């Protein structure tokens, strides 16, 4: 999943201090484990090969997929306020993707302060390089240091901030893709990477009626279905597999009890799949499902309490008019 960035043209390279491949040793043990258990699962990180990352960008622009647009609206409205509360600081973004929403924050920090230091972190080197290049041509004072890798690895390898204060951005409700235990561990890692006085900006999707949620993950153009199925194509090239995509179909449901979307690939006919590099053969029965992703939908009060119990102060929480999405600014 971790790819080396494509060439950055020489005009920009001086600003790209470092783009590191920090996760090149993958052995697929997570795939083996997920496919060998009774209720099969696959880790959502396998969505994001080059094609999957592009499909995710398409999802963000779908009429039914409200989270990206709603969070962007909140950031657009409050970016200047956020930047004036934090003062000038280094912006570190986990899962930066195309950085399009981050532009509202970059604009605000550029307006208020003279220097702009941005550390985007993403598993896709191609997307990271392309967006860094575009940002560098759009922001005259910007310095970018991109890191290619998983969040955990990047957090562990963060060097001291280039400015006295740092803000870590974790937007897009990616926290929702973690199970509660993983999310607890991850929040602990973020807090550990912050110095006292540093900030954390968290964007989360909130609980809302089932019909709105299910439409967002079962879009009418079938882009989410293609994104889900692409995980099998990714496993095919990464582990020399022979998944036939026609044997599976996308399904997403809202599990109200758990407060989460569950995304599945349902198996249409009994068959065997071989993943050569893992020396693994998997039996699939007609009607069985692979759980490929959960997307938890949060209750703001519960989440704020959780964050505070970890020693962060909440400085402000903003939502959109419909109360569909929340952006929480915290300080260590
Ligand atoms: C990246 N993540 C927050 C998205 C979500 O909404 O959980 C991934 C996604 N899966 C299907 N659509 C979008």
Q: At residue 22, does pLDDT exceed 90?
A: no
Q: What percent of the chain has pLDDT over 90?
A: 77
Measured CA distances, 270 to 35, 63, 288, 289 (Å): 15, 35, 9, 11
26 band by pLDDT with thresholds 50, 70 and 90: low
Q: Dig out the tokens for 87 from the structure.
A: 């003062």
Cβ burial 60-86 (10 Å sphere, 16+ → b, else e)? bebebbbbbbbbbbbbeebbbebbeeb
By the 8 A CB rule, do 83 and 112 touch? yes
Q: Which residue's CA lies nearest to atom 4 of ligand 1? A: 174
- The answer to whether the beta carbons of residues 2 and 23 sit under 8 Å apart is yes
> Is 172 close to ligand 1, i.e. is its CB under 6 Å away?
yes
Question: Which residue has tokens 């400015």?
Answer: 163
The closest residue, in CA terms, to atom 2 on ligand 1 is 174
Q: Measuring from atom 1 of ligand 1, which residue has the nearest CA? A: 174
- Beta carbon of 217 within 6 Å of any ligand 1 atom: yes
Exposed e or buried b per residue across 145-175, where buried means at least 16 C-beta atoms within 10 angstroms of its C-beta = bbbbbbbebbbeebeebebebbbbbbbbbbb
Average pLDDT over residues 276-297: 98
**pLDDT above 70 (res 21):** no
pLDDT in tens, 35-44: 999 999 999 9
- Pocket lining: 224 vs ligand 1, CB cutoff 6 Å: yes
Residue 15 reports pLDDT greater than 60: no
Which one of 57, 59, 60, 226 would you pick to mutate in the ligand 1 pocket, going by the greatest count of ligand atoms within 8 A of its CB?
59
Query: What is the per-residue pLDDT for 13?
Result: 34
| Ligand 1 lined by 53 (C-beta under 6 Å) | no
Average pLDDT, integer, range 12-22:
41
| Whole-number pLDDT of residue 201 | 98
Confirm or reject: Cβ of 174 under 6 Å from ligand 1: yes
Q: How far is the CA of 173 from the centre of ligand 1 (A)?
A: 8
Q: From CA 3, how far away is CA 50, in angstroms rounded?
A: 9
CA dihedral 184, 187, 193, 197 (to 10 degrees): -130
- Strand 147-148, strand 116-122: pairing: parallel
What's the gap in Å between 296 CA and the centre of ligand 1?
A: 10
Q: Is the pLDDT of residue 6 over 60?
A: no
Cα distances from 115 to residues 16, 155, 162, in angstroms, run: 15, 23, 11
Q: What is the mean pLDDT of the chain?
A: 91
Angle at 132 between CA 98 and CA 51, to 5 degrees: 40
Beta bridge partners of 205: 325
Span 1-26, average pLDDT:
40
CA 160 from chain centre, in angstroms, equals 23
**Sequence-distant contacts of 53-60: CB under 8 A, at least 24 apart:** 53/97, 53/124, 53/126, 53/127, 55/223, 55/226, 55/227, 55/230, 56/97, 56/227, 57/97, 57/98, 58/223, 58/227, 59/219, 59/223, 59/224, 59/227
Higher pLDDT, 110 or 149: 110
C-beta 293 within 6 A of ligand 1: yes
- pLDDT at residue 3 is higher than 70: no
Mutate to test the pocket of ligand 1, among 56, 65, 71, 202 (most ligand atoms within 8 A of CB): 56
Q: 223: how many CB neighbours lie within 10 A of its CB?
A: 19
8 pLDDT more than 70: no
Average pLDDT over residues 304-328: 97
CB 123 within 8 A of CB 111: no
Binding site membership of 60 for ligand 1 (Cβ less than 6 Å)? no
CB proximity list for 52: less than 8 A, separation 6 or greater: 46, 227, 230, 231, 234
CA pair distance 241, 192, nearest whole angstrom: 39
The pLDDT tens digits of the residues spanning 267-282 come to 999 999 999 999 999 9
127-143 mean pLDDT = 89
pLDDT in tens, 63-94: 999 999 999 999 999 999 999 999 999 999 99
């Amino acid at each position: 999943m971790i790819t080396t960035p494509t060439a950055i043209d020489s005009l920009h390279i001086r600003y790209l201090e470092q783009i590191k491949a920090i996760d090149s040793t993958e052995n697929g043990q997570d795939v083996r484990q997920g496919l060998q258990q009774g209720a099969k699962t696959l880790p959502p990180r396998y969505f994001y090969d080059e094609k999957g990352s592009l499909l995710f960008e398409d999802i963000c622009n779908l009429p039914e997929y409200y989270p990206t647009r709603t969070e962007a609206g909140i950031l657009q409205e409050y970016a200047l306020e956020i930047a004036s509360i934090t003062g000038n600081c280094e912006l570190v973004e986990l899962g930066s993707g195309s950085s399009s929403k981050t532009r509202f924050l970059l604009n605000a920090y550029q307006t208020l302060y003279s220097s702009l230091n941005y550390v985007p972190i993403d598993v896709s080197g191609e997307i990271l390089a392309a967006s860094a290049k575009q940002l560098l041509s759009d922001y005259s004072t910007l310095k970018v240091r991109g890191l290619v890798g998983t969040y955990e690895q990047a957090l562990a390898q963060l060097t001291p901030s280039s400015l006295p204060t740092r803000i870590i951005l974790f937007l897009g409700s990616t926290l929702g893709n973690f199970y509660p235990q993983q999310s607890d561990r991850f929040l602990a890692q973020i807090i550990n990477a912050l110095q006292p006085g540093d900030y954390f900006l968290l964007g989360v999707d909130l609980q809302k009626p089932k019909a709105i949620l299910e439409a967002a993950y079962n879009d009418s153009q079938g882009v989410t279905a293609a994104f889900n199925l692409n995980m099998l194509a990714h496993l095919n090239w990464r582990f020399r597999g022979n998944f036939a995509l026609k044997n599976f179909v996308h399904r997403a449901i809202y599990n109200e009890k758990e407060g989460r979307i569950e995304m599945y690939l349902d198996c249409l006919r009994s068959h065997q799949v071989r993943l050569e590099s893992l020396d693994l053969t998997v039996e699939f029965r007609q009607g069985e499902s692979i759980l490929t992703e959960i997307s938890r939908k949060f209750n703001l009060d519960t989440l704020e309490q959780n964050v505070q119990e970890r020693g962060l102060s909440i400085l402000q929480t903003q939502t959109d008019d419909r109360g569909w999405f929340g952006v929480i600014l915290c300080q260590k």
